[in-house]
Chains A and B, each alone.
Chain A
Amino acid sequence: MSSVTVTEAPNERELLLSTSPHLQSRWTTKQIMWFVVLALVPSVISAVLFFGFAQLLVIATAVVFAVGTEALIQYLTKKPIAVADGSAVITGLLLGLIVPPNFSLVFTALGAVFSIGVGKMLFGGLGYNIFNPALVGRAFLQAAFPVAITTWTVPQFAVDSVSKATPLAALKFDGVSTAISPLIYGNVGGSLGETSALAVLAGGIFLLVTGVANWRIPAAMTVGLIVFGGGLWLLDSSYPTPLFHFFAGSFLFGALFMATDYVSSPITNLGMWIYGLGISLVLVLIRVFGGLPEGVMYSILFMNAFVPLINRYTRPRIFGEVKS
């Protein structure tokens, strides 16, 4: 907050002046961002555990190129270099965790540059992007390198039934279903940070408990998954169960780390419910009827586009206001 310093004549003492309030909470942008980074550590660990130390290189490449791109653009556009706020580190980490194991470092770097350059800085930087930058980068990679991004390595301790294909793809294309417990631990094929539900939940619960992430979005997505996924399953039991929807693929990672991104999600409470339910509806439609096995990325990007509209039409009732 800007303060004016005045010299008070009689005692020659300097007093600060500003309008109220004179106290500020301890929360800062930087602190929030570093809390999110901390919450992603369990997922990084699970990636290393299941897919080997080489994955640290993939993740580090994404982080370095994300931060570097942001710093470079800020330097070129003569804006203050603000990478210390941690937001580019998060984008890099998120992108690094949603690519397949042993993904090409060159492609990873390209994805990170696209995430920050197009997904974030083109819109005006922190606070102004419409779409989740990490998902923008992932969508770019999906379009540019469709084969590489869907080539899954076998996890280190894999039993052969769940090798090569992700559980969602196995179910969709081969009709092979996967038990829930490997999904929980993460000993299955999939993107680096998404396979272990346990690790994702640990970080996610930390964010919910500390109040960094708003609980309404993951809650709405879960309700949506039960209603839409469960509804279809009740109609035809050959469709996946809601429990499978919940633990397989990137649902948890998307719900806790992607959809809760402040900038690209609604600011009103009602808006958050609409947004979360919308994501799950689109997700279930893609998973069940679409050509792709997984739909978390596209469903979140799809709903990101509606956020300004949702915000506009979900103004809360002002205290004491009577609906006329």
Chain B
Amino acid sequence: MFKTFPGGVHPPEEKELSEHCAFEAMPMPSMVILPLSQHLGKQATPTVDKRAVVARGQVIAQADGFISAPVHATITGTVKSIGREHNSNGYMKEAMVIIPAKLKEGEELPADVSLPPLDPSTVTADEIRARVKEAGIVGQGGAAFPTFVKLSPPEGKELDAVIINGCECEPYLTRDDRFMIERPDAIVSGLTLIMRALGVKRGVIGIESNKPDAIASMQKAVAGHEGLEVCALQTKYPQGAEKMLIKAVNGREVPPGKLPLDVGAVIQNIGTAVAIHDAIAQGEASLTAAVTVTGRGIRTPKNLLIPVGTPIKDVIEYCGGLTDDAAKVIVGGPMMGVAQFNLEAPIMKATSGIVVLTHDDVRAQEETSCLRCGKCIDACPLHLLPTRLARLAELNRLEEAEEFGITVCMECGSCAFTCPAKIPLVQWLRLGKQRVIAMQRSRKASAA
């Protein structure tokens, strides 16, 4: 029996579309759109002006404040504009557009900029944090939290384990799987660096059982490293959610409103571990995103290394284009990803996948009344009562929704996936959650 958590669902895995496609580097795009906020926290401040010539690897926007990350030019060229553009989260955000420079007679392109490589075996905790910050690395798991912040825990927190998240529980996506097969040593090196930065002695790599090749590859890579282990986990969504992963690996439950570090754990994604290794050992900033392009709506599924800022439509074109029955383009996985309405939106640092679903996959079905079957309750990994919360949200009974824990919901979508009545449960919860949070804010404001 593999370790896991109670609850969860089993969506079709669909990994076979791309799991055997080795990473390939996508050629330089014709332009890049670089949102100044590709992370949680404050937007970065531009350091170059319109029409400036920038080199690949050069900083174009500086981190602003503690929770922020710098942005680097990912191609060499000219700054065409700085203004509001659609990003792939569906928002309009400040972004810098860079196009390849038109050379005049005798002009030369500036050389690529990179950071001086450091020796991973001797680098200190402070040097690791400084480099991770400088390289603009953000969490690759989806939330895009600036990584160096997670490497700087507040004083007095007892940490005892770093867990590398290799679950990749979202259906379709295979990029973490490919990283574990192709770059196991970089992951182990990244994990060792994270452990050194945090002063932690135990490192665990959690992998779902549907990736036997990755499990074997990582087991081989950790052999002989003291304190490192591979933990095979049951294949079940959302096994890769932080709270579920910690529960499965060491049995601890992160209380509502608390962080993994409150139970002594720090979680980093596979891609983040690779990025940390590359930033230290090769001096590489966060310039490329590892992205699985897949689904039955795309002609040739691939795992790609793509310059950050590349428009989605260029990536789709590189993968042979959309099929005739393509219906929905999702950035991220199909359980929590964002459906796109503008394919000019760019690949961002934390983009993990582009999944194109067909009409057959989407199967929009008619909604019926709630049967009170309780399948959503069995599915909820956080032990909430989705059907009840959805109803309370619909009726705008916010105090009761708050009492029943609506703000704890992480919007994993297990309830809406499983519901036979096809009620958009998580969508109601999302709405209710936002309203309850707004209510709590105004309550706090009036109390102050």
Which of B338, B355, B419, B420 counts the most A-chain CB atoms under 10 A from its CB?
B420
Which of A8, A20, A321 counts the most chain B CB atoms within 10 A?
A20
Least distance between B385 CB and chain A CB atoms (Å): 7
Give residues 400-419 of B contacting A (CB, 8 Å).
Answer: 404-405, 408, 411, 413, 416-419
How near does chain B come to A77, taking the closest CB pair, in angstroms? 14
Residues of B within 8 A of A23 (CB): 11-12, 171, 334-335, 361, 417
Q: B446 an interface residue at 8 Å Cβ cutoff?
A: no
Contact with B along A10-32 (1 / 0, CB 8 A): 11010111111111110111011
Contact present for B255 and A321 (CB under 8 Å): yes
CA of A32 to CA of B373, assembled, Å: 10
Q: Report the Cα distance A317→B339, complex, angstroms.
A: 33
The secondary-structure label for the interface of chain A is loop
B417 and A24 within 8 A (CB): yes
Q: What residues of B have a CB within 8 angstroms of the CB of A18 in the complex?
A: 328, 339, 364
Q: When the two chains form the complex, which single residue of A25, A85, A320 contacts B253, counting CB atoms closer than 8 Å? A: A320
Structural contact, A13 and B322, CB atoms closer than 8 A: yes
CA distance A25 to B374 in the complex (A): 15
Interface size of B by CB at 8 A reads: 71
Q: Which residue of A lies closest to B262 (CB)?
A: A320
B371 touches A32 (CB 8 A): yes
* Nearest chain B CB to A83 CB, angstrom units: 12
Q: Nearest-CB distance from B364 to chain A (Å)?
A: 5
B243 and A320 contacting across the interface, CB-CB below 8 Å: yes
Q: Which of B325-355 contact A (CB under 8 A)?
A: 326-330, 332, 334-344, 355
Selected contact of A21 from candidates B365, B369, B375, B416, CB within 8 Å: B416
Report the bound CA distance from A21 to B71 in whole Å: 30
29 contacts between A and B (CB under 8 A): A1-B365, A1-B416, A8-B341, A8-B343, A15-B340, A15-B341, A16-B327, A16-B362, A18-B364, A19-B339, A20-B337, A21-B334, A22-B337, A22-B339, A27-B375, A32-B371, A32-B420, A126-B369, A262-B372, A263-B372, A267-B377, A268-B374, A268-B377, A268-B385, A318-B405, A319-B254, A319-B408, A320-B253, A320-B256
Interface residues of B (CB under 8 A from A): 9, 11-12, 171, 243, 247, 253-256, 258, 313, 322, 326-330, 332, 334-344, 355, 357, 361-365, 367-375, 377-378, 381-385, 387-388, 404-405, 408, 411, 413, 416-422, 424, 426-427, 430
Which A residues are closer than 8 A to B by beta carbons? 1-3, 6, 8, 10-11, 13, 15-25, 27-29, 31-32, 82, 85, 125-128, 214, 262-263, 265, 267-269, 311, 315-322
